[in-house]
């Protein structure tokens, strides 16, 4: 992947000037390339990686496996897009294996998520079956471990 | 016999007369200051790749806790021969031309002890790794330092060697990419040095521990220059590229006569390199590109960052091309390298290593390691900028 995208993926708040130094290009060029990525939709947005377990939120996340019937012409895309439009669905992936779609669904209570599954998701045309798993704890998100790293244990000066 | 003075007199004269490493003194000082940002650490800030650590734990569970063959596990030697052949362009027989050691440091010590008779001269280039001079002296050799210079990108030239060679010169030591200067040698540079070594019939010991860490052009090894493999001891290890310093695992490749001699010392002193570290090394060789690639990208970004920041604040610095060190000149501040480092530590709590720790010709320079997080580098450079602006 492009070095610029690698830097932004590890820290989207990095200043244009610092990125420019790291890549050995001008800050103007960095700004232009970012604008271009945004315009082309390669960069879809910027979000903080939050360790929600620390916040004691009233929030439930379910991982839902969905079997669907692919539709003529639209294939999986039509049904996946339809499901993805629900704001409760935070992520949706087409996967290989025993089921087709993998969803991450959020609600404020267990009942709310259950209602979404039974009243919104399952009745959809093309949805054959669902299997819901409630998420208990997050250990790693977007490549970031959620526990705090320990102190640097290296000696402060070494040859 | 009583008292410490008389004990001191009983010491081996060579050992007694070699000073402690300048880095050690500086380390003792740095530990007395709180909240220091250190650019003085000569080891990666990355953790050892997880698959390596995980498989080391597995090896421990499986009971890989016994002596290994003196040369090292045969499967590790085979993997090393493959890696060296593919990466460095010289073929070695894993049966008798590869020796696994306790870090490159042991390998270097073995090579020097295997080769030197008292009085044999060893050419090496300074500024250099802190142990070279001492290792030569411990092996009863005569260290002959050749000074590399900033205006030349700290590269070694044939002319420099011609000026220092004598009929007693037996060995030439090379270390590129270089600690502390970050210098590298191109193939053409190395061909000149190789021609010199052949004409003078010298044995070459090449310490290429930083080989994977180059940022503008791929590394070239002197062993790939025609005619050099059979007069060279190639030293490498896992500390830097794989971030495995604490595993203490290195290796030597060379003609069987030389490896055999080194093995003799190794078997009577060290027996074998630690079994678990050898297992770790074997796992590390399974996917070097993935492990090292990301780290190299990150070092490159930091290198660019630090070089550009030095340029902005008017610190002259030969472009760092390899390893993870920048070696800027601080001569214009009218302080010795040591006084500059002390003042920077005192006033801004940034630790750098005075160039003199790497040889007398390091005077006027400091070593800044960028093997620390970008956040630390940014903060250190902000402080350094402030410090420089005051002078």
- Those of residues 275-334 in B touching chain A at CB distance below 8 A are 297, 301-302, 304-305, 308-309
Catalogue the long-range contacts made by B290-297 (C-beta closer than 8 Å, 24 or more residues apart): B291/B49, B291/B52, B291/B241, B291/B242, B292/B212, B292/B241, B292/B242, B295/B44, B295/B46, B295/B213, B295/B241, B295/B243, B296/B212, B296/B213, B296/B215, B297/A3, B297/A6
Residue found under tokens 């191109």: B186
Q: Which fold has domain B3-48+289-389?
A: 3.90.1150
* Helix H or strand E segment including B262: helix B256-269
Does the pLDDT of residue B2 top 60, yes or no?
no
Per-residue pLDDT tens digits for B134-188: 999 999 999 999 999 999 999 999 999 999 999 999 999 999 999 999 999 999 9
Once rounded to an integer, what is the mean pLDDT over residues B207-230? 97
| Percentage of residues of chain B with pLDDT beyond 70 | 99
Question: What count of Cα atoms within 13 Å lies in the side-chain half-sphere of residue B381?
Answer: 27
Does the pLDDT of residue B374 top 80, yes or no?
yes
Q: CA of B178: how far to CAs of B91, B274, B295, in Å?
A: 24, 27, 18
d(CA A138, CA B254): 50
Parts of chain B belonging to CATH 3.40.640.10: 50-286
Does the pLDDT of residue A133 top 90, yes or no?
yes
- Cβ neighbour number for residue B16 with a 10 Å cutoff: 10
Token pair of B9 as six digits: 């007199």
Give the three-state DSSP class for B206.
Answer: strand
Closest chain A residue by Cα to residue B22: A159
d(CA B2, CA A49): 66
d(CA B307, CA B324): 12
* Residue B42 at interface with chain A, using a CB cutoff of 8 Å: yes
Per-residue pLDDT tens digits for A83-127: 999 999 999 999 999 999 999 999 999 999 999 999 999 999 999
- Those of residues 93-152 in A touching chain B at CB distance below 8 A are 152
Pick from B165, B175, B168, B243: which is nearest to B205 by CA?
Answer: B175
Amino acid B210: pLDDT: 98
8 Å CB contact of B305 and A156: no
* Residue A6 at interface with chain B, using a CB cutoff of 8 Å: yes
Q: Looking at the domain that runs over B50-286, which CATH code has it been given?
A: 3.40.640.10
Amino acid B25: pLDDT: 82
* Helix H or strand E segment including B122: strand B121-126
Say which of B36, B41, B374 has its CB closest to residue A158: B41
8 Å CB contact of B297 and A7: no
Residue found under tokens 């920041």: B309
> In the beta sheet, which residues pair with residue B126?
B147
Per-residue pLDDT tens digits for B276-314: 999 999 999 998 888 899 999 999 999 999 999 999 999
Say which of B38, B305, B374 has its CB closest to residue A156: B38
Say which of A24, A154, A158 has its CB closest to residue B304: A24
Amino acid A119: pLDDT: 96
Give the three-state DSSP class for A126.
Answer: coil
Q: Please determine, for the modelled complex, whether the ipTM score is greater than 0.90.
A: no
Per-residue pLDDT tens digits for B71-124: 999 999 999 999 999 999 999 999 999 999 999 999 999 999 999 999 999 999
Pick from B222, B193, B179: which is nearest to B320 by CA?
Answer: B179
Does the pLDDT of residue A62 top 90, yes or no?
yes
Parts of chain B belonging to CATH 3.90.1150.10: 3-48+289-389
Cβ-based contacts of A3 with chain B (< 8 Å):
297, 301
Which domains, from first to last, does chain A contain? 3-40 (1.10.10), 52-136 (3.30.70.920)
* Helix H or strand E segment including A91: strand A89-94
Amino acid A72: pLDDT: 85
d(CA B33, CA B346): 8
8 Å CB contact of B41 and A155: yes
């Amino acid at each position: 992947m492009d070095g610029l995208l690698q830097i932004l993926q590890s820290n989207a708040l990095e200043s244009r000037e610092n990125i420019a130094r790291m890549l050995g290009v001008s800050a103007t060029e960095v700004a232009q390339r970012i604008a271009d990525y945004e315009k082309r939709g390669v960069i879809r947005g910027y979000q903080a990686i939050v360790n929600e377990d620390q916040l004691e939120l009233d929030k439930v996340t379910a991982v839902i496996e969905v079997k669907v019937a692919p539709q003529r012409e639209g294939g999986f895309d039509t049904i996946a897009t339809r499901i993805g439009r629900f704001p409760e669905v935070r992520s949706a992936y087409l996967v290989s294996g025993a089921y087709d779609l993998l969803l991450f669904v959020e609600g404020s209570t267990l009942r709310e998520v259950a209602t979404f599954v039974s009243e919104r998701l399952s009745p959809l045309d093309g949805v054959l079956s669902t299997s819901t798993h409630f998420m208990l704890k997050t250990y790693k998100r977007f490549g970031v471990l959620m526990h705090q790293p320990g102190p640097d244990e290296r000696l402060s000066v070494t040859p | 016999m009583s008292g410490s003075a008389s004990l001191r007199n009983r010491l081996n004269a060579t050992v007694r007369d070699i000073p402690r490493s300048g880095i050690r003194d500086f380390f003792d000082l740095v530990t007395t200051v709180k909240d220091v940002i250190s650019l003085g650490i000569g080891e990666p800030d990355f953790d050892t790749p997880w698959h390596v650590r995980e498989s080391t734990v597995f090896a421990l569970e499986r009971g890989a806790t016994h002596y290994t063959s003196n040369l090292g596990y045969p499967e590790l030697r085979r993997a090393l021969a493959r890696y060296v052949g593919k990466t460095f362009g010289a073929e070695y027989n894993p049966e008798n031309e590869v020796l696994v050691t306790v870090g490159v440091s042991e390998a270097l010590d073995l090579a020097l002890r295997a080769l030197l008779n008292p009085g044999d001269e060893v050419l090496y280039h300074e500024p250099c790794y802190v142990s070279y001079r001492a290792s030569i002296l411990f092996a009863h050799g005569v260290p002959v330092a050749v000074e590399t210079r900033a205006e030349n990108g700290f590269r070694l030239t044939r002319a420099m060697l011609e000026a220092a060679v004598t009929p007693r010169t037996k060995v030439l030591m090379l270390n590129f990419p270089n600690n502390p200067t970050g210098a590298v040698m191109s193939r053409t540079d190395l061909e000149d040095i190789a021609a010199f070594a052949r004409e003078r019939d010298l044995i070459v010991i090449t310490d290429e521990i930083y080989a994977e860490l180059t940022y503008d052009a791929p590394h070239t090894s002197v062993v790939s220059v025609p005619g050099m493999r059979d007069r060279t001891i190639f030293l490498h290890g896992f500390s830097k590229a794989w971030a495995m310093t604490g595993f203490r695992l290195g290796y030597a490749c060379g003609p069987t006569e030389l490896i055999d001699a080194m093995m003799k010392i190794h078997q009577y002193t060290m027996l074998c390199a630690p079994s678990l570290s050898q297992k770790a090394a074997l796992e590390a060789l399974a996917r070097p590109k993935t492990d090292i690639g990301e780290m190299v990208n990150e070092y490159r970004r930091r290198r660019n960052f630090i070089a550009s920041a030095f340029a902005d604040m008017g610190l002259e610095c030969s472009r760092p091309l390899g390893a993870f060190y920048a070696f800027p000149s601080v001569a214009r501040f009218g302080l010795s390298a040591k006084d500059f480092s002390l003042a920077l530590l005192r006033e801004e709590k940034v630790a750098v290593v005075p160039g003199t720790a790497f040889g007398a010709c390091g005077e006027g320079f400091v070593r800044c390691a960028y093997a620390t997080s970008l956040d630390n580098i940014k903060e250190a450079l902000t402080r350094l900028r402030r410090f420089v602006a005051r002078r």
